[in-house]
Homo-oligomer: A and B are copies of this chain.
Amino acid sequence: MSENHRQERDSLRVRIIEVGPRDGLQNESDIISTEAKVSFVDALSETGVAEIEAGSFVSPRAIPQLADSDEVFRKINRKPGVVYSALVPNERGLERARAAAVSKIAVFTAASDTFTRRNINCTVSESIERFRPVVFGAKRDDMTVRGYISTVTHCPFEGAVPPSQVLDVMRQLLDLGVDEISLGDTVGKAAPCDMRRLLDQIVPRIERSRLSLHVHDTCGMAVANVLTAWTEYRIESFDTAAGGLGGCPYAPGASGNVATEDVVYALKASRVSLPVDERKVIAAASEIGKVLNRRLTSRLSQVQTEQIAYEGVA
C-alpha cells in the first residue's frame, strides 16, 4: 500500500466526539435555556463531527444544568450520519433516554475508588454493579453503550493511577457488554509518557475502533497527548468540547475538555483529512460562550479566523 493511500485510509477513521453540550455545560455554574442548548447542538451538527453527546439523563437534582435533556433531544435537528448520545446513570435515566429516542448511551465510572466515591458515592465495583441493568436494558433495545473510565492516569485524591487498575475496569466493562471505552484524563495532568504507559497496556487488549481518548487541558498537555495517541497508537476517536468548555466539579483544579477546534487543527496539521470545519466549531462555541458570558479557552478561538488556514510544509 502506498504511503498516501495508507494515510488516507487511516485518516478516514478518525472520529471527533463532541462532548461540549454534556461534559461542558454540566460544569457551568449558570443554567442556560433549552433554546440555547438546542441551538448549540444544531450548530455543532453542521461542523462535521461524528457524534455529539447532547445531554444527560441523571437526576435533575444532581445536575440541574442538564435537567431539560429530554426536551433538548426532542427539539434538536438530527442530522443524518451524526450520532447523538446521552449519559445515563440508572434505569430511570434509561427510560428517559428511550423516550427521547436516543440510540447511544454512556455509563460512567473511574479507575480510582476515591474519585468514584466522591463523584457518585460508591466504589468502582459498586458503580459497575449499579449500571449492569442499564447496559442490559440498552443492549436489549439495540442501543450502543459507551463506558467512561475517568482518572485513567491521575486521581485528584489518590495521585498517580497505575495502568493495571484501568485495565481491570475496562475488562469488567467489556464483560458487561459495553461497546466502546472512553479513557479520561479527568484531571488533565497526564504527559505523553503517561499516555504511552497506559496505551501500551490498553491498546493490545481492545479493538482500536472501540476506544476513545478523553483529555482535559489543565496543564496544557492535552494536544500533545492527542497527537501521541494518534501518531504512535492510531487511536481513532477523541472526545473534545467546542471552545474548551468544561471542567469537573469533583476534580479540584481540573479545567476544561481539550477544545474541539484545537484538536481538529492539530490533527489536520498532522495530515489527517478530517471532515470537521474548525471555523464552524469556533462559531458554535462563541455563541454558547456569549450565553454563558464566558471567555473561550481554546487557542484557536484567540486567533483571527483568517489566520487559521493550515498550510502543510512542502
Which A residues lie at the B interface, using CB under 8 A?
153-154, 159-163, 189-194, 197-198, 217-221, 223-224, 227, 231, 252-253, 255, 259, 262, 265-266, 269-271, 297-300, 302-304, 306-308, 310-314
- Nearest CB on B from A224, distance (A): 4
Decide: B161 and A300 in contact? CB cutoff 8 A: no
Contact B220 A304 (CB under 8 A): no
Contact status B231-A192, CB under 8 Å:
yes
Given contacts A189-B310, A266-B224, contact A219 B154 (CB under 8 A): no
Q: When the two chains form their complex, are residues B220 and A160 in contact, meaning their CB atoms are under 8 A apart?
A: no
Q: Which of A160, A220, A271, A304 has the most CB of B within 10 A?
A: A220
> Would you give the shortest CB distance from A170 to chain B, in whole angstroms?
16
Would A312 and B160 count as touching, CB distance under 8 A? yes
Could you list some 11 contacts between A and B, CB below 8 A? A153-B313, A160-B312, A193-B270, A194-B269, A218-B299, A219-B308, A220-B265, A221-B227, A221-B266, A221-B269, A253-B303
CB distance from A182 to the nearest CB of B (A): 19
Tally of this chain's copies: 2
- Hey, which chain B residues are within 8 Å of A198, CB to CB? 313
Q: How far is the CA of A221 from the CA of B265 in the complex (A)?
A: 9
Chain B residues within 8 Å of A253, by CB:
303-304, 306-307
**A311 touching B160 by the CB < 8 A rule?**
yes
Q: Write out the residue numbers on chain B whose beta carbons fall within 8 Å of the beta carbon of A259.
A: 220
Q: Which residues of B contact A270 (CB under 8 A)?
A: 191-193
Tell me the complex Cα distance, A193–B270, Å: 6
B contact residues around A220 at 8 Å (CB) = 223, 259, 262, 265-266, 298-300
Rounded to whole Å, the gap between the CB of A145 and the closest CB of chain B is 28
Select which of B218, B265, B310, B314 is within 8 A of A162 by beta carbon.
Answer: B314
Contact flag A219-B269 (CB < 8 Å), given A224-B224, A253-B307, A302-B255: yes
